[in-house]
Amino acid sequence: MKIYDLVIIGSGSGLNIASKAIENNKKIKIAIIEKDKMGGTCLNRGCIPSKMLLHYSDVIETIKKSDDFFIKSNIKKIDYKKIITDVNNQINKDSLEILSFYKKNKKIDLYQCEAKFLDNHKIKVKDKIIYAKKIVIAIGARPNVPKIEGLDKIDYLTYVEALKLKKLPKDITIIGGGYIGVELSLFFYSMGVKVSILEKENILSGLDNEIVAEFKKDFLKKIKVFEKANIKKIDKKNNKAVIFFNNKKIESEKVLVVAGIKPNTDLIDIENTDIKLDRKGFIKVDKYLQTSVKHIYAFGDCIDSYFFKHSANFEAKYIYSRIFERNRERITYPNVGYSVFSNPEIAGVGLKLKEIDDRYFVKKAYFKDIAQSMICKGKAGIIYLIFEKKTKRLKGSHMVCKNASILIHVLIAFMEKRGKLDDMKKMIYIHPSFAEIIKRGVLE
């Protein structure tokens, strides 16, 4: 039986630990176990392909708006086949490069199979058993598919298939209005597909209503949204899916289900260990990202944390420091921002409007009031800045605005450095940049 200093299960953010460990530790022996393509969700079926597709959308939407700038243009053809091939070729190339790197590396044994725990130290990999002194579980999650009568009778898509779809449908119904549903809806819309979203609550329900309301001004012109949609059943009729919800029905060629994620903890025979799961199947970890078994860590999408690639990267860095640098501190997350890569983008950090009380005050500004709005002939956009009354410190900010995913970093930095309203007022904001929406907000 081979004995390893460290076994990492999952080659998404788990590779952050592996790569640093082999770089900095001469005698280490590590095993990585991966059942699928190298690089995990972000590279193969998440952040990267979705944002690549959205970049195509941006190009298309810019061309469509060229008339506003007295430039006559028309889109002769959108070669969807080439788009989807390009995206998938690029991510496959990246994944294969990662594979080749790890296959060649002498300090690492790569097992390309499903990991199955036999006990707290032993793991079955195909027909072999390996022994791990320490283990990191970074097995991520997969699409959650809700129980809906008739769904199993149709050839539905999840984000995994949607990002590889060979042929565009004429129309698509997306079940789920979270950020993935919203982003993919905009991609399909740009490709000329008629898109509807059925959402059991409200779209982007985790965000503030004020932000979503601003976002919807443009979004609803493109996408048909049914909120509080209680889906009763789905039938198949003439190769179309008919979805019955509330007292309505909707027909479409394709159905895309993006109703959250489900941790992959049911795939590793975790019951053979002393690791504990929570009600939803996520691995329970303490403030040190240790599971109920001290030598086993877990992080990323398989624990109930942030579900972002950037937070998983942070956690990986922390676990590395615990294992290899004797860090004894508990994990303290800095301010974790989020972004919806829609058009316009949404981004935010810290406290939300729905979370504050009279200990806070709010400043807001509209995109239409800054010079960039005139320059790019766009009106939609708003920013909210939340300050603590006592300290005047910035405690949160949320915005809908072109480039929001970039702008938010100014506010993340301010929050990180415990910046106060006066500090933000003192700063010079470049004119006429998008950042002037922040200036407008703080000077309000």
Ligand X SMILES: Cc1cc2nc3c(=O)[nH]c(=O)nc-3n(C[C@H](O)[C@H](O)[C@H](O)COP(=O)(O)OP(=O)(O)OC[C@H]3O[C@@H](n4cnc5c(N)ncnc54)[C@H](O)[C@@H]3O)c2cc1C
Which parts of this chain interact with ligand X (CB under 6 A)?
A: 9-14, 33-36, 40-42, 46-47, 50-51, 114-115, 138-140, 159, 180, 264, 267-268, 300-301, 307-310, 312, 341
By beta-carbon proximity to ligand X, the closer residue of 282 and 387 is 282
By beta-carbon proximity to ligand X, the closer residue of 99 and 356 is 99
Give least dist CB 200 to ligand X, A: 19
Which pair of structure tokens corresponds to residue 175? Answer: 């079940």
Give least dist CB 52 to ligand X, A: 11
By beta-carbon proximity to ligand X, the closer residue of 50 and 343 is 50
Give least dist CB 197 to ligand X, A: 15
By beta-carbon proximity to ligand X, the closer residue of 20 and 233 is 20
The stretches of 121-193 forming alpha helices (DSSP H) are: 159-162, 179-190
By beta-carbon proximity to ligand X, the closer residue of 310 and 409 is 310
By beta-carbon proximity to ligand X, the closer residue of 271 and 444 is 271
Distance CA 131, CA 102 (A): 20
Output 364-371 pairs: Cβ under 8 A, ≥24 positions apart: 364/441, 364/444, 365/437, 365/438, 365/440, 365/441, 365/444, 366/437, 366/440, 367/400, 367/401, 367/402, 367/437, 369/440, 370/432, 370/434, 370/436, 370/437, 370/440, 371/431, 371/432, 371/436
Helical (H) or strand (E) element with 373: helix 371-375
Give least dist CB 299 to ligand X, A: 7
Give least dist CB 137 to ligand X, A: 9
112, amino acid identity: Q
Distance CA 363, CA 442 (A): 7
Distance CA 37, CA 288 (A): 29
Give least dist CB 313 to ligand X, A: 9
